[in-house]
Structure 1
Amino acid sequence: MSLINVSNLTFAYDGSYDTIFENVSFQLDTDWKLGFTGRNGRGKTTLLQLLLGKYEYRGTISSQTSFEYFPFPIENKGNLTIEVIEEIHPDYVHWEMMRELSLLKVSDDVLYRPFSSLSSGEQTKVMLAALFLKENSFLLIDEPTNHLDMQAREVVSRYLRSKSGFILVSHDRAFLDHCANHILSINKTSVEVQKGNFSAWWENKVKQDHFEQAENEKLMKDIKHLSEASKRTSNWSHEVEKTKNGTLNSGSKVDKGYIGHKAAKMMKRSKSMEKRQASAIEEKSKLLQNIESSESLKITQLVFHKQRLAELDDVSVYYGEHQACSQISFTIEQGDRIALSGPNGSGKSSVMKLICGEELDYTGTFRKGSQLKISYVSQDTSHLQGNLKDYARSNDIDESLFKAILRKLDFSRLQFEKDMSSFSGGQKKKVLIARSLSERAHMHIWDEPLNFIDVISRMQIEELLLEHSPTLLFVEHDSEFCVNIATKVVEF
């Protein structure tokens, strides 16, 4: 066991006005299974890069251990997998590598295949196996679940559960619950470490948010009461002060010393109330700093003239002689939220493309309502560039609704001025989802929409879908999202 101490860490990228970290301090144990969570763009990957010594910073990071980062940069993916392993870990022991691959359910033959020919899941498992063979290293594992199907996630989560000594960045709640025994969270104004898995951390966060909201409401009432009382007392002191130069009703002269003393006493009381009010306002400013903002939205979906929107009966899709999927049957009716489930490569995306109108070879019966308007979210975000205002205009969507959804998903107003090409992977996926929810469509088709999107935004997207109930066909490997959202599941 050794400790990683971070003290007064302050960092901003060169040329940027945005400070990523300011006087951040925390301590980690290298024996922990540490889950790392936080909104997109808050600095999770940046912190990992700082631990690796990639950037200059103010403050101190002290540790007696070395760090290894996942995913490892593979310079030549055309090399055999065994050569890639040697590049990652030149001193590895062969039988130990075979043991790790066996634990990850990877067959021996992958070692003698080009690394590029492996599936994304196989590549992830091979790199993890090689990295965990490095002794006396603390592993920084950055989003290993992206593009992994549910079966691969279960295998990798079991593997990580048997290990220790790592930071795991993941936005999959079930995955974090299975793997982590501590949570490192980047909040709006702080960085915190808590014992327990993600669910325990989230429960504590909700309790803290509720406590702060209740305290905030109480302080607001106190501030209002003190303000009104201070104003009344101040007015009274001025009225009393005015009587110093007058006479009493009996015609006797007033006691100016007594009245002056009484007015001063009232004014002192007024100042005391103002001071307490200022103190209460200062105390209030410490609250709600880490509560994630949320605003109500009105999203309208078009209503199709028929209840049934599309139907597939024994559909098989082909690319030349290759069969992408076999004998798929299901119907889509208004209000359905259908999850397509199955391993990568089983043809889910092909069926989505067919329904969207792409010309594909298929057998079986496929029917789709005429004039059906579909909003599609693809896995690819590489085409996003330019500003959000022009993007909204070019897609003929309500700019105010589009930006309101993005604000709900933690976009700052400053973000609206930036070029989309500079956005993080998660921020780009949020743009696609916000665009889709802003489009007037009969049905939404989303292909792995949550890749790179942070956990809190996933929950907020769930809230939007449950509140507005659009017709939705989707592929997503986040099991919690599927359980919470899907009204039907189609197994491939």
Structure 2
Amino acid sequence: MSMYSITGAQLAFGHVALLDHADFSIETGERVGLIGRNGAGKSSLLKIVAGLAQADDGLVSRQQNLRMVFVEQEPVFTPGETVFDAVASGLGDSIRLLAEYDEVSMQLGEAADTDALMERLTTLQAALDAQDAWQWRHRVETTLEQLTLDHTLRVEDLSGGMRKRVAIARALVSAPDLLLLDEPTNHLDFDAIRWLETLLISLRTSLLFITHDRAFLDRVATRIIELDRGRLLSYPGNFVAYQERKEQQLETERVENAKFDKLLAQEEVWIRKGVEARRTRSVGRIARLESMRGERAERRNVQSNVKLDVSHADRSGKIVSELTDVTMTYGGRTLIEKLSCTVMRGDKIGLIGPNGAGKTTLIKLMLGEIQPASGSLRTGTNIEVAYFDQMRAQLNPESSLADTIAPGSDWVEINGARKHVMSYLGDFLFSPERARSPVKSLSGGERNRLLLARLFARPSNVLVLDEPTNDLDIPTLELLEELLTDYAGTVLLVSHDRIFLDNVVTSVIAFEGEGRWREYVGGFSDWRIQSARAAQLAGSEQPSAPAPKAASTPASGAAATSGAAAGAAAARPVKLSFKEQRELETLPAEIAELETEQKHLSGCIEEGSVFVNDPAEGTRLTDRFAEIDDALFAALERWETLEAKSRGLKS
């Protein structure tokens, strides 16, 4: 039996049906990713499951005593509370029962008639036993330790990523059967996202979450549910498996609709000719035609995609920005230390680093908006910058969408062609009615889409995008990737969407601690491999003995000969130890074995039946798949290191 299910769910917003006789269920141990277009109703469905909202119609069934916890996209905390108090508030019911138990116990010693009090005390004790509430403090401390949180800090002093971690700790301390997460990766950096993935995979709690992070879906989800035109469609497996099956489904739907429309057109021709020629008609055939007309009128076609086009300015100079030994400090802290890099026209550069590392500062330096504390900075000529701000500060909540795009005008100009603002907003899926609405009425994803529309209407040859992917649905993300790939200008991109970075950027500049930044060729995956390899090589190198001080007299011939010999020895290949040689010989077979096992597990996970028949086994397979992924990465890195050492590349 499903732990939670809803059958025939209906929910309408105005004349649009967000849920149209939709069915949904979740089994024990499943991790279900909920996806769909912005405004499709995903958050509404999540709130219905959480019990925070109700559907217009539908039958809800849930296991008895099912514990559900909902973690909002922007968690709310009580001002001034510590991390410990915030996490302990997740045990609100247990703490309330304990307080009442203490109060009843005190009354028991003073009251003359104790029967009612004893009965209440027994009821409270049974409830506390059922919730294992006697050890609540130990549970809070254990949860804080597992999530590496300092219980003494105030929540309001933490970063957005750490506050999200506290919110998850507050949810987990109550040991829920079903955990509901709304956009859990928003505003998290790479390390925090990786930590969250590992945590959720290790939990035995069932999970229902909304996200547009494709890499997160790929690693965490055991099933994808798509909210599409009011229907809930289930796809077993991860995001890659969903993409394959979705493409097949859309092609099948297209063919069936084409056949239906052709038959309907033939019947329409028949009914007109029949009336004119015979004046007699088949009652059954007419009834079928009327039914087909009704079915065609009710069909909800696939929502059209955003039409993205950038307004291009004249080409910038060949060099956009050149930094030489640039150092930047802020508040006594060194954000950038002796960075040298050159941004050329047409480069697409991703900036990678934790929140607060100084990515925005680095962008401002590159554009010449601020000057470094030391070093030299040169910006190119004819630079026209269009800036996407993740905080959406460029949007006036009280302005209409049309005024936001074209203040005081009904027209925008894109690459020399005039376009009516209503038509232009239609390209970004805003109807004429919405175009007259204020910005404050839009959802987060719709505001990001509006900001893109405003950005692309400005002529530019340098695009600066600060977290453009937050809240955007997956189809829009994929279109934005295509547009940026084909963009002839320069792109400076800050994003924590790993797949988006892989598909767009040609190089990354990564923060490596203590103000150090380093440039790597390729995307996010290339950076991760190269940085891990560099760290492993640096860690495996043994520190050499300190060189003796140079004598004040010129070096003797013997000393010079000795130095030359040492240099020649350093140039020769390094001989592997017996243990390393054996390791190098066995690693290829080990890698092949891991790849074979991973391929087998991938087939089982994508097929999906294991999550229905044996959820525990499905969880084990997913965990093992992640373990093999890490083991393969480590084995390949070790093999490359030993190969390089045996060829004398390490000296």
Please give the range of the TM-score, normalised by the shorter of the 2 chains.
0.7 to 0.9
1:421 equivalent to 2:422? Answer: no
Equivalent position to 1:325, from 333, 336, 354: 336
Q: CA deviation at 1:491?
A: 1.4
Alignment of 1:452-463 (within 5 A): 452-463=471-482
1:133 equivalent to 2:135? Answer: no
Query: Is the 2:12–2:56 Cα contact (8 Å) retained in structure 1?
Result: no
Task: Name which of structure 1's ranges 182-191 and 69-78 shifts more when overlaid on structure 2.
Answer: 69-78
Q: Which residue of structure 1 aligns with residue 39 of structure 2?
A: 41
Q: Which residue of structure 2 aligns with residue 388 of structure 1?
A: 401
Q: Which residue of structure 1 aligns with residue 163 of structure 2?
A: 123
Q: Which residue of structure 1 aligns with residue 87 of structure 2?
A: 85
Query: Is the 1:187–1:290 Cα contact (8 Å) retained in structure 2?
Result: no
2:355 match: secondary structure: coil
Q: CA deviation at 1:320?
A: 3.4
CA distance in 1: counterparts of 2:76 and 2:288, whole angstroms: 62
CA distance in 2: counterparts of 1:343 and 1:48, whole angstroms: 30
The one-letter amino acid of 2:51's match is: G
Q: Which residue of structure 1 aligns with residue 197 of structure 2?
A: 157
Query: Is the 2:305–2:475 Cα contact (8 Å) retained in structure 1?
Result: no
CA distance in 1: counterparts of 2:136 and 2:488, whole angstroms: 54
Query: Is the 2:308–2:479 Cα contact (8 Å) retained in structure 1?
Result: no
The one-letter amino acid of 1:88's match is: G
The one-letter amino acid of 1:83's match is: D
TM-align CA RMSD: 3.2
CA distance in 2: counterparts of 1:362 and 1:161, whole angstroms: 45
Equivalent position to 1:190, from 231, 242, 245: 231
Query: Is the 1:297–1:404 Cα contact (8 Å) retained in structure 2?
Result: no
1:3 equivalent to 2:15? Answer: no
Q: Which residue of structure 2 aligns with residue 209 of structure 1?
A: 250
Tell me: CA distance 1:97–1:455, structure 2 relative to 1, closer, same or farther (3 Å). farther
Equivalent position to 1:367, from 359, 366, 378: 378
Q: CA deviation at 1:32?
A: 1.6
CA distance in 2: counterparts of 1:305 and 1:43, whole angstroms: 43
CA distance in 2: counterparts of 1:406 and 1:176, whole angstroms: 30
Task: Name which of structure 1's ranges 65-74 and 401-410 shifts more when overlaid on structure 2.
Answer: 401-410
Q: CA deviation at 1:292?
A: 3.2
Query: Is the 1:5–1:63 Cα contact (8 Å) retained in structure 2?
Result: yes
1:354 match: secondary structure: helix
Q: Which residue of structure 1 aligns with residue 453 of structure 2?
A: 434
Task: Name which of structure 1's ranges 434-443 and 355-364 shifts more when overlaid on structure 2.
Answer: 355-364
Tell me: CA distance 1:447–1:136, structure 2 relative to 1, closer, same or farther (3 Å). closer
Query: Is the 2:215–2:498 Cα contact (8 Å) retained in structure 1?
Result: yes
Q: CA deviation at 1:8?
A: 3.3
The one-letter amino acid of 1:86's match is: A
The one-letter amino acid of 1:427's match is: E
Task: Name which of structure 1's ranges 68-77 and 474-483 shifts more when overlaid on structure 2.
Answer: 68-77
Gaps of 5+ in 2: 96-132, 512-651
Q: 1:72-130 CA deviation, whole Å, 9 max, x = no partner? A: 854334322112112223557555555545554x3x5x211222222222222232133
Q: CA deviation at 1:9?
A: 3.0
TM-score with structure 2 setting the length:
0.63
Q: CA deviation at 1:408?
A: 4.8
Q: Which residue of structure 2 aligns with residue 67 of structure 1?
A: 68
Alignment of 1:90-101 (within 5 A): 90=95, 91=133, 93=136, 96-97=139-140, 100-101=143-144
Q: CA deviation at 1:145?
A: 0.5
Tell me: CA distance 1:279–1:339, structure 2 relative to 1, closer, same or farther (3 Å). same
Task: Name which of structure 1's ranges 41-50 and 217-226 shifts more when overlaid on structure 2.
Answer: 217-226
Paired positions, count: 457
Query: Is the 1:171–1:454 Cα contact (8 Å) retained in structure 2?
Result: yes
Query: Is the 1:406–1:434 Cα contact (8 Å) retained in structure 2?
Result: yes
Query: Is the 1:101–1:125 Cα contact (8 Å) retained in structure 2?
Result: no
1:166 equivalent to 2:207? Answer: yes
Q: 1:274-330 CA deviation, whole Å, 9 max, x = no partner? A: 77766666665576x352313655534123252222222332322232222333333
CA distance in 2: counterparts of 1:379 and 1:331, whole angstroms: 25
Q: CA deviation at 1:38?
A: 1.5
Tell me: CA distance 1:305–1:177, structure 2 relative to 1, closer, same or farther (3 Å). closer
The one-letter amino acid of 1:340's match is: L
TM-score with structure 1 setting the length:
0.82
CA distance in 1: counterparts of 2:307 and 2:182, whole angstroms: 33
CA distance in 2: counterparts of 1:209 and 1:178, whole angstroms: 25
CA distance in 2: counterparts of 1:86 and 1:101, whole angstroms: 10
1:316 equivalent to 2:327? Answer: yes
CA distance in 2: counterparts of 1:480 and 1:283, whole angstroms: 39
Query: Is the 2:467–2:494 Cα contact (8 Å) retained in structure 1?
Result: yes
Query: Is the 1:374–1:445 Cα contact (8 Å) retained in structure 2?
Result: yes
The one-letter amino acid of 2:469's match is: L
CA distance in 1: counterparts of 2:18 and 2:296, whole angstroms: 24
Tell me: CA distance 1:218–1:465, structure 2 relative to 1, closer, same or farther (3 Å). farther
Q: Which residue of structure 2 aligns with residue 243 of structure 1?
A: none
Q: CA deviation at 1:208?
A: 1.4
Q: Which residue of structure 2 aligns with residue 252 of structure 1?
A: none
Q: CA deviation at 1:230?
A: 6.6
1:394 match: secondary structure: coil
Query: Is the 1:303–1:442 Cα contact (8 Å) retained in structure 2?
Result: yes
CA distance in 2: counterparts of 1:208 and 1:285, whole angstroms: 21
CA distance in 2: counterparts of 1:228 and 1:290, whole angstroms: 24
CA distance in 2: counterparts of 1:478 and 1:395, whole angstroms: 36
CA distance in 1: counterparts of 2:240 and 2:420, whole angstroms: 31
Query: Is the 2:218–2:240 Cα contact (8 Å) retained in structure 1?
Result: yes
Q: Quick one: percent identity of the two aligned structures?
A: 27
Q: CA deviation at 1:179?
A: 0.9
2:216 match: secondary structure: helix
Task: Name which of structure 1's ranges 333-342 and 66-75 shifts more when overlaid on structure 2.
Answer: 66-75
Q: CA deviation at 1:376?
A: 0.5
Q: CA deviation at 1:54?
A: 3.0
Q: Which residue of structure 1 aligns with residue 390 of structure 2?
A: 379
Q: 1:218-249 CA deviation, whole Å, 9 max, x = no partner? A: 444455556567767777x4xxxxxxxxxxxx
Q: CA deviation at 1:419?
A: 1.0
Gaps of 5+ in 1: 238-262
Greater share of helix: 2
Tell me: CA distance 1:2–1:457, structure 2 relative to 1, closer, same or farther (3 Å). same
The one-letter amino acid of 1:62's match is: S
Q: Which residue of structure 2 aligns with residue 336 of structure 1?
A: 347
Q: CA deviation at 1:18?
A: 5.1
Q: Which residue of structure 2 aligns with residue 258 of structure 1?
A: none
CA distance in 2: counterparts of 1:280 and 1:57, whole angstroms: 29
1:486 equivalent to 2:505? Answer: yes
Tell me: CA distance 1:360–1:308, structure 2 relative to 1, closer, same or farther (3 Å). closer
Equivalent position to 1:51, from 39, 49, 52: 49
Q: 1:379-416 CA deviation, whole Å, 9 max, x = no partner? A: 11254321111112239844848766654554344322
